[in-house]
Amino acid sequence: MAKESRLKQKSNGFSLFVLILGIETSCDETAASVVMNSTKILSSVVASQVQIHHPFGGVVPELASRKHIETIVTVVNEAVNKAGIDKSQIDAVAVTQGPGLVGSLLVGFCFAKAFAFGLDIPITGVNHLEGHINSVFLEPNPPPFPFVALLVSGGHTNIYYVTSHTNYEIMGQTRDDAAGEAFDKVSKMLGLGYPGGHIIGKLSEKGDPDKIIFPRAYLDKSTFDFSFSGIKTSVNRYIQTHKNEYKKQTPNIAAGFQESVVDVLTYKIINAARKKGCCHAAIVGGVAANSRLRKRVRLEAKEKHISVHIPSLDLCGDNAAMIAAVGYHYLLEGKKLRLDDDVFSRAKSFF
Ligand code: KG4
Ligand code: ZN
């Protein structure tokens, strides 16, 4: 059966198995994955560039795109092989179209277009943020619609009211830095390197969160917006005013900073659920890997009778399974890329 007509039959309610190859290169991970019908991961390969960017304390865009070029073919081949299929069995391709680093996005995007063109199969361009939101559907017991979602990553801190796989209302967003960006910058200030979130999370386990108290930026408590630049400045001021002794306090600084961020994130997502009368909330994106955040949200949610859905660690960070999962829904809705379509670097208004 032709690939196009398999997708058409699926959208008409036929029970067919549709295999989608997802490709993700928006930042510093080269990822490919084969997903069946948006929920069953047959393979998920992620090649991290952490070692390359570590000495610079952050992602160097030029190095990132060059590494994607070197890695993409191997990663896609590995994903196809691990799925136990032949390329000819792939029904469609889903690729991250944005937001992200333009040079990085272009590598995956151009590769995916050529791959789909070569096999004469449909291709769709996926919004990376929608990928993160849909990552909870790759886990057992996903939330029913509607639910609220906190997307916390290196580039975004947003709260959504999610009504379907591809429909959302944005309830709040950061007015300055993203939460993950704050983790990365504080780690850099403390001389701990990149990637900051994981390093600060680990170090915090050895520190006392009540020893050094940093401010909580709730803004107006009724809004679901965030601001993390103030806390970053507070940490910097602490370092500058304790130049001789701050190094001994590093675990306490990390724990104090983390607690401040976690307090605000927890407060806002629980209140967003209550405001919308939702009994399901999801936490997604790289910062959702933070064990203190996972624990605190689960604890607070339990008290308020809200079910919390947080993906396993592999699905919190950037991956291509979440891109394939969203791509499936786009394709069923008939959203396809044209060969002359381009990437977008900033979050498009898709609400
Ligand atoms: O979703 P992601 O992999 O990429 C973006 O779309 O940005 O998120 C990366 C962000 C980085 O800022 C990283 O420091 C943060 O997620 N992160 C963490 C943890 N693991 C990764 N932040 C806090 N605690 C962690 N354990
Ligand atoms: Zn991401």
Per-residue model confidence as pLDDT tens for the chain (351 residues): 567 777 777 777 666 789 999 999 999 999 999 999 999 999 999 999 999 998 888 899 999 999 999 999 999 999 999 999 999 999 999 999 999 999 999 999 999 999 999 999 999 999 999 999 999 999 999 999 999 999 999 999 999 999 999 999 999 999 999 999 999 999 999 999 888 999 999 999 999 999 999 999 998 888 999 999 999 999 999 999 999 999 999 999 999 999 999 999 999 999 999 999 999 999 999 999 999 999 999 999 999 999 999 999 999 999 999 999 999 999 999 999 999 999 987 764 443
195 pocket-lining for ligand 1 (C-beta < 6 Å): yes
User: Which of 28, 29, 287 to probe ligand 1 with, by most ligand atoms within 8 A of CB?
Assistant: 287
Bridge-based pairing of strands 29-36 and 19-24 is antiparallel
Q: Which ligand is nearest to the CA of 154?
A: 1
Q: Is the CB–ligand 1 distance for residue 122 below 6 Å?
A: no
Residue with tokens 């724990």: 255
- What confidence score (pLDDT) does residue 346 get? 72
Identify whether the C-beta of residue 232 lies closer than 8 Å to the C-beta of residue 215.
Answer: no
- Non-local (6+) Cβ contacts of 237 within 8 A are none
Write down the pLDDT at residue 285.
98
Point out the ligand 1 atom lying closest to the alpha carbon of residue 184: 14
Ligand 1: atom nearest CA of 258 is 23
Give the model's pLDDT for residue 137. 98
Is the CB of 27 inside a 6 Å radius of any atom of ligand 1? yes
Residues 134 and 268 sit within 8 Å (Cβ to Cβ): no
Ligand 1 mean position, distance from CA 285 (Å): 7
Distance CA 78, CA 152 (A): 29
CA–CA distance, 265 with 224 (Å, rounded to integer)? 10
pLDDT at 14: 63
Q: How far apart are CA 95 and CA 77, in angstroms?
A: 15
Cβ of 154 below 6 Å from ligand 1: yes
Give residue 120 CA to ligand 2 midpoint distance, Å. Answer: 29
99 in contact with ligand 1, CB cutoff 6 A: no
- Assess whether the C-beta atom of 318 lies below 6 angstroms from ligand 1: yes
State whether the beta carbon of 57 lies less than 6 angstroms from ligand 1: no
Beta strands in 182-276 (DSSP E): none
Buried b (16+ CB within 10 A) or exposed e, 257-269: bbbbbbbbbbbbb
- The CA distance from 199 to 256, in Å, is 14
- pLDDT at residue 16 in the model: 72
pLDDT of residue 2: 66
